Amino acid sequence: MGRRFWRLVILVLILAVVLYPLLWMLGTSFKSREEIATNIGLWPDVFTPGNFRDGWQNFDVSFGRFFANSAMVALLTVVGNAVSCLLAAYAFARLRFRMRKVWFAIMIGTLLLPGHVLIIPQYVLFKQLGWVGGDWPYLPLLVPQFLATEAFFVFLMVQFMRGIPYELDEAAKIDGASPYTVFAHVIVPLSRPALVTTAIFSFIWTWNDFFRQLVFLSDLQDYTVPVALTLFIDSTSESAVGPMFAMSLLSLVPVFLFFVAFQRLLVEGINTSGIKG
Protein backbone atom coordinates (compact mmCIF):
# COMPACT_ATOMS: atom_id res chain seq x y z
CA MET A 1 0.00 0.00 0.00
CA GLY A 2 2.57 2.52 1.09
CA ARG A 3 4.82 1.89 -1.85
CA ARG A 4 2.05 2.07 -4.40
CA PHE A 5 0.86 5.32 -2.85
CA TRP A 6 4.26 6.99 -3.10
CA ARG A 7 4.70 5.81 -6.66
CA LEU A 8 1.46 7.55 -7.55
CA VAL A 9 2.45 10.73 -5.69
CA ILE A 10 5.75 10.92 -7.57
CA LEU A 11 4.07 10.27 -10.89
CA VAL A 12 1.47 12.96 -10.29
CA LEU A 13 4.18 15.45 -9.32
CA ILE A 14 6.18 14.72 -12.48
CA LEU A 15 3.01 14.93 -14.53
CA ALA A 16 2.24 18.34 -13.05
CA VAL A 17 5.66 19.61 -14.15
CA VAL A 18 5.22 18.09 -17.61
CA LEU A 19 1.74 19.49 -18.16
CA TYR A 20 2.38 22.90 -16.64
CA PRO A 21 3.70 24.57 -19.83
CA LEU A 22 0.72 23.30 -21.81
CA LEU A 23 -1.81 24.49 -19.23
CA TRP A 24 0.01 27.79 -18.93
CA MET A 25 -0.26 28.26 -22.69
CA LEU A 26 -3.95 27.45 -22.56
CA GLY A 27 -4.56 29.91 -19.73
CA THR A 28 -2.46 32.71 -21.18
CA SER A 29 -4.28 32.48 -24.51
CA PHE A 30 -7.43 33.61 -22.75
CA LYS A 31 -5.91 36.38 -20.63
CA SER A 32 -6.31 40.05 -21.47
CA ARG A 33 -3.19 42.16 -21.99
CA GLU A 34 -3.43 43.58 -18.46
CA GLU A 35 -3.94 40.18 -16.94
CA ILE A 36 -0.91 38.69 -18.69
CA ALA A 37 1.21 41.31 -16.96
CA THR A 38 -0.41 41.06 -13.53
CA ASN A 39 -1.98 37.64 -13.02
CA ILE A 40 0.73 35.04 -12.59
CA GLY A 41 -1.79 32.27 -11.95
CA LEU A 42 -2.49 29.50 -14.41
CA TRP A 43 -6.09 30.51 -15.14
CA PRO A 44 -7.39 33.90 -16.27
CA ASP A 45 -9.79 35.66 -13.90
CA VAL A 46 -11.78 36.85 -16.87
CA PHE A 47 -11.85 34.75 -20.01
CA THR A 48 -11.03 37.01 -22.96
CA PRO A 49 -11.44 35.32 -26.33
CA GLY A 50 -10.31 38.56 -28.00
CA ASN A 51 -6.76 37.22 -28.40
CA PHE A 52 -8.02 34.74 -30.95
CA ARG A 53 -9.72 37.46 -32.98
CA ASP A 54 -6.67 39.74 -32.79
CA GLY A 55 -4.21 36.97 -33.57
CA TRP A 56 -6.25 35.74 -36.50
CA GLN A 57 -6.03 39.17 -38.12
CA ASN A 58 -2.62 40.18 -36.78
CA PHE A 59 -0.89 40.21 -40.16
CA ASP A 60 -1.90 41.43 -43.62
CA VAL A 61 -2.90 37.87 -44.44
CA SER A 62 -5.30 36.18 -42.06
CA PHE A 63 -4.43 33.02 -40.19
CA GLY A 64 -7.23 31.29 -42.06
CA ARG A 65 -5.00 31.39 -45.10
CA PHE A 66 -2.00 30.04 -43.16
CA PHE A 67 -4.05 27.18 -41.77
CA ALA A 68 -5.39 26.38 -45.24
CA ASN A 69 -1.82 26.36 -46.61
CA SER A 70 -0.59 24.11 -43.80
CA ALA A 71 -3.52 21.75 -44.21
CA MET A 72 -2.96 21.50 -47.94
CA VAL A 73 0.76 20.78 -47.56
CA ALA A 74 0.13 18.22 -44.82
CA LEU A 75 -2.69 16.41 -46.63
CA LEU A 76 -0.85 16.25 -49.96
CA THR A 77 2.21 14.97 -48.10
CA VAL A 78 0.09 12.23 -46.56
CA VAL A 79 -1.20 11.21 -49.99
CA GLY A 80 2.27 11.39 -51.52
CA ASN A 81 3.92 9.35 -48.79
CA ALA A 82 1.15 6.77 -48.66
CA VAL A 83 1.18 6.11 -52.41
CA SER A 84 4.90 6.35 -53.14
CA CYS A 85 6.16 4.56 -50.03
CA LEU A 86 3.64 1.77 -50.59
CA LEU A 87 4.90 1.24 -54.14
CA ALA A 88 8.55 1.38 -53.11
CA ALA A 89 7.95 -0.97 -50.19
CA TYR A 90 6.13 -3.46 -52.42
CA ALA A 91 9.11 -3.52 -54.75
CA PHE A 92 11.54 -4.14 -51.87
CA ALA A 93 9.37 -6.69 -50.13
CA ARG A 94 8.03 -8.75 -53.03
CA LEU A 95 9.65 -8.06 -56.38
CA ARG A 96 12.99 -9.44 -57.47
CA PHE A 97 15.22 -6.99 -59.26
CA ARG A 98 18.90 -6.43 -59.72
CA MET A 99 20.86 -5.02 -56.77
CA ARG A 100 17.77 -5.11 -54.60
CA LYS A 101 19.81 -5.58 -51.43
CA VAL A 102 22.17 -2.75 -52.34
CA TRP A 103 19.30 -0.37 -53.03
CA PHE A 104 17.66 -1.38 -49.80
CA ALA A 105 20.85 -0.69 -47.84
CA ILE A 106 21.17 2.72 -49.49
CA MET A 107 17.56 3.47 -48.62
CA ILE A 108 18.19 2.57 -44.98
CA GLY A 109 21.35 4.66 -45.07
CA THR A 110 19.33 7.75 -45.95
CA LEU A 111 17.51 7.29 -42.63
CA LEU A 112 20.63 8.56 -40.90
CA LEU A 113 20.99 11.48 -43.27
CA PRO A 114 20.08 14.76 -41.57
CA GLY A 115 17.61 16.84 -43.54
CA HIS A 116 19.87 19.83 -43.06
CA VAL A 117 22.54 18.25 -45.21
CA LEU A 118 20.22 17.88 -48.17
CA ILE A 119 18.53 21.22 -47.95
CA ILE A 120 21.11 23.31 -49.81
CA PRO A 121 21.56 21.10 -52.87
CA GLN A 122 17.80 20.58 -52.99
CA TYR A 123 17.32 24.31 -52.84
CA VAL A 124 19.83 24.84 -55.64
CA LEU A 125 18.24 22.10 -57.72
CA PHE A 126 14.68 23.33 -57.26
CA LYS A 127 15.78 26.89 -57.92
CA GLN A 128 17.33 25.86 -61.21
CA LEU A 129 14.05 24.17 -62.10
CA GLY A 130 12.28 27.43 -61.34
CA TRP A 131 10.25 25.88 -58.52
CA VAL A 132 11.47 28.09 -55.68
CA GLY A 133 9.21 31.11 -55.56
CA GLY A 134 7.57 29.83 -58.73
CA ASP A 135 3.90 29.89 -59.66
CA TRP A 136 3.16 27.29 -57.07
CA PRO A 137 5.78 27.55 -54.32
CA TYR A 138 4.83 24.25 -52.70
CA LEU A 139 6.44 22.11 -55.41
CA PRO A 140 9.79 21.85 -53.56
CA LEU A 141 7.97 20.76 -50.42
CA LEU A 142 5.69 18.23 -52.08
CA VAL A 143 7.47 16.66 -55.04
CA PRO A 144 9.98 14.76 -52.86
CA GLN A 145 7.09 13.36 -50.85
CA PHE A 146 5.68 11.77 -54.01
CA LEU A 147 9.00 10.07 -54.74
CA ALA A 148 9.23 7.88 -51.64
CA THR A 149 12.06 9.87 -50.06
CA GLU A 150 10.79 9.21 -46.54
CA ALA A 151 12.85 6.09 -45.98
CA PHE A 152 11.36 5.66 -42.55
CA PHE A 153 7.92 4.92 -43.95
CA VAL A 154 9.29 2.71 -46.72
CA PHE A 155 11.13 0.71 -44.09
CA LEU A 156 8.04 0.49 -41.89
CA MET A 157 5.96 -0.82 -44.77
CA VAL A 158 8.60 -3.28 -45.98
CA GLN A 159 8.76 -4.75 -42.48
CA PHE A 160 4.99 -4.96 -42.39
CA MET A 161 4.66 -6.56 -45.82
CA ARG A 162 7.21 -9.20 -44.88
CA GLY A 163 4.66 -10.37 -42.34
CA ILE A 164 2.03 -10.98 -45.03
CA PRO A 165 2.12 -14.69 -45.96
CA TYR A 166 3.57 -15.46 -49.38
CA GLU A 167 0.86 -18.08 -49.92
CA LEU A 168 -1.62 -15.28 -50.57
CA ASP A 169 0.54 -13.94 -53.42
CA GLU A 170 0.98 -17.44 -54.81
CA ALA A 171 -2.73 -18.18 -54.69
CA ALA A 172 -3.47 -14.96 -56.54
CA LYS A 173 -0.78 -15.71 -59.13
CA ILE A 174 -2.20 -19.17 -59.77
CA ASP A 175 -5.51 -17.48 -60.44
CA GLY A 176 -3.68 -15.50 -63.11
CA ALA A 177 -2.98 -12.27 -61.25
CA SER A 178 -0.16 -9.99 -62.42
CA PRO A 179 2.18 -8.33 -59.90
CA TYR A 180 0.00 -5.24 -60.23
CA THR A 181 -3.13 -7.17 -59.33
CA VAL A 182 -1.37 -8.81 -56.40
CA PHE A 183 -0.34 -5.38 -55.22
CA ALA A 184 -3.78 -3.85 -55.58
CA HIS A 185 -5.87 -6.74 -54.29
CA VAL A 186 -3.65 -8.54 -51.80
CA ILE A 187 -0.89 -6.30 -50.47
CA VAL A 188 -2.65 -2.95 -50.26
CA PRO A 189 -5.73 -4.13 -48.36
CA LEU A 190 -3.60 -6.11 -45.92
CA SER A 191 -1.18 -3.23 -45.37
CA ARG A 192 -3.87 -0.98 -43.98
CA PRO A 193 -2.39 -0.75 -40.45
CA ALA A 194 1.02 0.32 -41.75
CA LEU A 195 -0.70 2.74 -44.10
CA VAL A 196 -2.66 4.30 -41.24
CA THR A 197 0.50 4.72 -39.17
CA THR A 198 2.27 6.32 -42.11
CA ALA A 199 -0.62 8.68 -42.73
CA ILE A 200 -0.84 9.81 -39.11
CA PHE A 201 2.87 10.42 -38.68
CA SER A 202 3.18 12.07 -42.09
CA PHE A 203 0.50 14.49 -41.09
CA ILE A 204 1.89 15.29 -37.65
CA TRP A 205 5.49 15.63 -38.79
CA THR A 206 4.57 17.82 -41.74
CA TRP A 207 2.25 19.94 -39.66
CA ASN A 208 5.03 20.53 -37.12
CA ASP A 209 7.81 20.84 -39.69
CA PHE A 210 9.50 24.18 -39.82
CA PHE A 211 12.92 24.03 -41.44
CA ARG A 212 11.90 23.10 -44.97
CA GLN A 213 8.90 25.40 -44.98
CA LEU A 214 11.05 28.25 -43.71
CA VAL A 215 13.56 27.73 -46.51
CA PHE A 216 11.17 27.28 -49.40
CA LEU A 217 8.33 29.71 -48.67
CA SER A 218 9.06 33.39 -49.10
CA ASP A 219 5.75 35.18 -49.76
CA LEU A 220 3.53 36.01 -46.82
CA GLN A 221 0.40 34.67 -48.51
CA ASP A 222 2.10 31.29 -49.08
CA TYR A 223 3.25 30.91 -45.47
CA THR A 224 2.27 27.88 -43.46
CA VAL A 225 1.30 28.18 -39.79
CA PRO A 226 4.77 27.56 -38.26
CA VAL A 227 6.44 30.10 -40.53
CA ALA A 228 3.67 32.61 -39.85
CA LEU A 229 4.06 32.10 -36.09
CA THR A 230 7.68 33.22 -36.25
CA LEU A 231 6.44 36.61 -37.51
CA PHE A 232 5.13 37.20 -34.00
CA ILE A 233 8.68 36.99 -32.66
CA ASP A 234 9.73 39.89 -34.86
CA SER A 235 7.06 42.06 -33.31
CA THR A 236 7.77 41.31 -29.68
CA SER A 237 5.68 44.08 -28.23
CA GLU A 238 3.82 43.28 -25.04
CA SER A 239 0.49 43.50 -26.83
CA ALA A 240 1.39 40.61 -29.14
CA VAL A 241 1.86 38.01 -26.42
CA GLY A 242 -1.83 37.14 -26.03
CA PRO A 243 -2.55 36.82 -29.77
CA MET A 244 0.73 34.96 -30.25
CA PHE A 245 -0.23 32.42 -27.61
CA ALA A 246 -3.75 32.11 -28.99
CA MET A 247 -2.46 31.30 -32.47
CA SER A 248 0.19 28.94 -31.08
CA LEU A 249 -2.53 27.13 -29.21
CA LEU A 250 -4.73 26.88 -32.29
CA SER A 251 -1.82 25.53 -34.31
CA LEU A 252 -1.44 22.62 -31.89
CA VAL A 253 -5.13 21.65 -31.98
CA PRO A 254 -4.92 19.33 -35.04
CA VAL A 255 -1.99 17.41 -33.57
CA PHE A 256 -3.74 17.22 -30.22
CA LEU A 257 -6.88 15.81 -31.86
CA PHE A 258 -4.77 13.17 -33.56
CA PHE A 259 -3.26 12.38 -30.19
CA VAL A 260 -6.69 11.93 -28.60
CA ALA A 261 -8.01 9.83 -31.45
CA PHE A 262 -5.00 7.57 -31.95
CA GLN A 263 -3.35 7.61 -28.56
CA ARG A 264 -2.78 3.87 -28.34
CA LEU A 265 -1.42 3.62 -31.83
CA LEU A 266 0.90 6.58 -31.36
CA VAL A 267 2.29 5.42 -28.06
CA GLU A 268 2.57 1.75 -28.81
CA GLY A 269 2.62 1.43 -32.57
CA ILE A 270 5.51 3.04 -34.30
CA ASN A 271 7.92 3.58 -31.46
CA THR A 272 8.13 -0.03 -30.56
CA SER A 273 7.88 -1.54 -34.02
CA GLY A 274 11.61 -1.15 -34.49
CA ILE A 275 12.67 -3.21 -31.52
CA LYS A 276 10.10 -5.92 -31.17
CA GLY A 277 12.12 -8.90 -32.19
In angstroms, the CA 94 to CA 161 distance is 8
From residue 170 to residue 209, the character string flagging contacts with another protein as x (rule: CB under 8 A) and all else as - is ----------------------------------x--xx-
Q: Can residue 32 be called a binding residue for another protein (CB under 8 A)?
A: no
Distance of closest approach, residue 166 Cβ to another protein, in angstroms: 26
Distance of closest approach, residue 179 Cβ to another protein, in angstroms: 20
Q: Can residue 56 be called a binding residue for another protein (CB under 8 A)?
A: no
| Contact region with another protein (CB under 8 A), list: 20-28, 57-65, 160-168, 183-191 | 20-28
Q: Can residue 271 be called a binding residue for another protein (CB under 8 A)?
A: yes
Q: Is 134 helix (H, G, I), strand (E, B) or coil?
A: coil
Residue (of 164, 196, 156) closest to 183 by Cα position: 164
In angstroms, the CA 249 to CA 63 distance is 13
Closest CB to another protein among residues 41, 163: 41
Contacts of 37 (CB under 8 A, 6+ apart): 238
Closest CB to another protein among residues 167, 234: 234
Q: Can residue 240 be called a binding residue for another protein (CB under 8 A)?
A: no
Q: Can residue 15 be called a binding residue for another protein (CB under 8 A)?
A: yes
In angstroms, the CA 52 to CA 33 distance is 13
Contact present, 202 and 144 (Cβ < 8 Å): no
Q: Is 62 helix (H, G, I), strand (E, B) or coil?
A: coil
Residue (of 129, 125, 141) closest to 69 by Cα position: 141
Closest CB to another protein among residues 221, 263: 263
Residues 88-147 that bind another protein (CB under 8 A): 103, 106-107, 110, 112-125, 127-128, 143-144, 147
Distance of closest approach, residue 82 Cβ to another protein, in angstroms: 17
Contacts of 7 (CB under 8 A, 6+ apart): none
Task: Write the DSSP symbol of residue 150.
Answer: -
